[in-house]
Amino acid sequence: TWFQFFQACVVFFCLLCGIYLHLTRSWKMGSGQWHVEKRSTLKKESFLKEYGAAVSESRSLSIIVLGASGDLAKKKTFPALFNLYHQRFLNPDEVHIFGYARTKLSDEELRDKIRRYLVDEKNASEKAEALSKFLQLIKYVSGPYDSEDGFKRLDKAISEHEISKKSSQESTRRLFYLALPPSVYPPVCKMIKECCTNKSDVGGWTRIVVEKPFGKDLESAEQLSSQIGKLFDESQIYRIDHYLGKELVQNMLVLRFANRFFLPLWNRDNIANVQIVFREDFGTEDRGGYFDEYGIIRDIIQNHLLQAKPLPFDCLPLMQVLCLVAMEKPISLKPEHIRDEKVKVLQSVVPIKDEEVVLGQYEGYRDDPTVPNDSNTPTFATTILRIDNERWEGVPFILKAGKAMGSKKADIRIQFKDVPGDIFKCQKQGRNEFVIRLQPSEAMYMKLTVKQPGLEMQTVQSELDLSYKQRYQDVSIPEAYERLILDTIKGDQQHFVRRDELKAAWEIFTPLLHRIEKGEVKSIPYKPGSRGPTEADQLLEKAGYLQTHGYMWIPPTL
């Protein structure tokens, strides 16, 4: 019919319009031929956001580890890269890894240096083939951190890899991991910017991963942020906080916002207090002089150190965990929406009062010859933070961290208020608590009051327990560095610290840190292997925390 013919004409016309919009055609004068020109390019960021996932399968990837000969690189960075490779998250047809440091080494010498850190002895045979292939992907370039010569040689090596993969500039990806002290960040970033960045503004990218500590106070952190910010956009900078890659830390958003029964309880009407605790059962060992420059607040509560010698127990940035516990529900899971809510929490924290701080220093700390005899540097701190918003007004957030304690653990402890009308007369046994054990023995459990089995009506505290090793026996939980490096490659900044977030955290603690340095807040001696100063327990009691007596959670056996 005429109507059907008309419909066909409309469809054909739309098809022609679509072809016309995708191609700009110009008639070559005198040649009598059509010449097809590429349409104008898209801007890099919008291209990546819309099409990045689709094109990532066919682009070369260069991962550059700066400080490749150091402890952090060989004990954390390279093992994480190998595990990603072994699990096929790094495509051997695309990826190449470059080490850069001042130490003069050959490619083979670097491979031998890191080999023993990549696999355990028990897994050596089954991973031997993968290990051999992975090591062949590593190339080493030596040079200073403040000279163009070395970085130009590095750029040449990267470019040769990209050419060998037949990659155009539009599809090359360069990831620079700075396994270096923060003091060299500015000159290294300057050299990367001038000599080694991706040359295209379409499709490809250059990203920078920087390790903490990021400054010693607000002023130094802002200065460092400003120096790097002049060279790279915020979307290119990944401030890695490895604890945000831990499985149970990443579980926080799911727990809070995917479970209905938590939603009405997670507020000041039901929660009495929140504790975020980190304990180490050893002291500063052979790094006392280095630790003395920072103290426990910078080392654990606000920051974690780039350690010359990695500790057997990871440091915990308690402020990042606090944000996940206290933040409001983001409008989506997009990284910027999540980070916006975290910043709001930090900006709502009121100034810390001296009477809500207890500092300690374990006996024997000053015996270290690298520590000054009159050092006031705390090795223990209990600090109460108060968040001035509708959800958390009146609820103390207790941050507790210490070295040379009686046990080692890291957990989040949400203590609920007393049940009104205690008809069973059981309040003295303890309150309900929801505990997230971050390490060791990852677990979540809820402390409940239940009837003790038997003929009599007696109550006892027990728990509902989700222990990861028991529940997920066949699941390999990835290391934090693996997850975060993969996030960096994907361009997901959700688990990385944004500049305004870093600034807000330093604004909270810098005044207290300066008062400590002036000697206005003193550290109280405590015995190694204890709970810390008794004044800390008194502060917790004053804040409203009720300790449970006669109950202890025991990790279940397999």
Q: What is the mean pLDDT of the chain?
A: 80
- Could you give the dihedral angle defined by the CA atoms of residues 289, 290, 295 and 296, in that order, rounded to the nearest 10 degrees? -110
Quick: pLDDT tens for 337-365. 999 999 999 999 999 999 999 999 988 88
Q: Where does the pLDDT of residue 558 fall: very low under 50, low under 70, confident under 90, or very high at 90 and above?
A: low
340: Cβ–Cβ under 8 A, 6 or more apart, which residues? Answer: 330
| Predicted pLDDT at 8 | 58
Q: Identify whether 304 is a catalytic site residue.
A: yes
| Predicted pLDDT at 30 | 40
* Spatial separation of the C-alpha atoms in residues 500 and 67, rounded to whole Å: 27
pLDDT of residue 35 exceeding 50: no
DSSP 96: E
What would the two tokens of residue 213 be?
Answer: 């500590």
* Stretch 367-376: mean pLDDT: 87
DSSP 530: B
Quick: pLDDT tens for 456-510. 777 777 777 877 777 777 777 778 788 889 999 998 888 888 889 889 988 998 8
What would the two tokens of residue 542 be?
Answer: 């004053």
* Stretch 29-39: mean pLDDT: 40
- How are strands ordered across the β-sheet holding 523-526? 459-467, 443-451, 433-439, 409-416, 271-279, 396-402, 380-386, 357-362, 523-526
| Predicted pLDDT at 29 | 38
Of all residues in the chain, the percent with pLDDT exceeding 70 is 82
Q: For residue 441, which amino acid is it?
A: S
What would the two tokens of residue 491 be?
Answer: 């361009």
Nearest to 207 by CA among 217, 197, 216: 197
**Cβ burial, residue 242 (10 Å; 0-12/13-18/19+):** buried
**Cβ burial, residue 117 (10 Å; 0-12/13-18/19+):** middle
Cα→Cα distances 434→437, 443, 445, 459, Å: 10, 11, 6, 19
Active-site residue identified among 304, 495, 514, 549: 304
Tokens 């130009």 map to which residue? 152
* Spatial separation of the C-alpha atoms in residues 300 and 501, rounded to whole Å: 17
Q: Where does the pLDDT of residue 551 fall: very low under 50, low under 70, confident under 90, or very high at 90 and above?
A: low
- Of 1 and 3, the one with more pLDDT: 1
Q: Where does the pLDDT of residue 34 fall: very low under 50, low under 70, confident under 90, or very high at 90 and above?
A: very low
pLDDT of residue 57 exceeding 70: no
* Stretch 325-337: mean pLDDT: 92
Q: Where does the pLDDT of residue 415 fall: very low under 50, low under 70, confident under 90, or very high at 90 and above?
A: very high
Quick: pLDDT tens for 372-392. 888 888 889 999 999 999 999
107: Cβ–Cβ under 8 A, 6 or more apart, which residues? Answer: 138, 139, 140
Quick: pLDDT tens for 121-149. 777 777 888 889 999 999 999 999 988 99
Q: Where does the pLDDT of residue 305 fall: very low under 50, low under 70, confident under 90, or very high at 90 and above?
A: very low
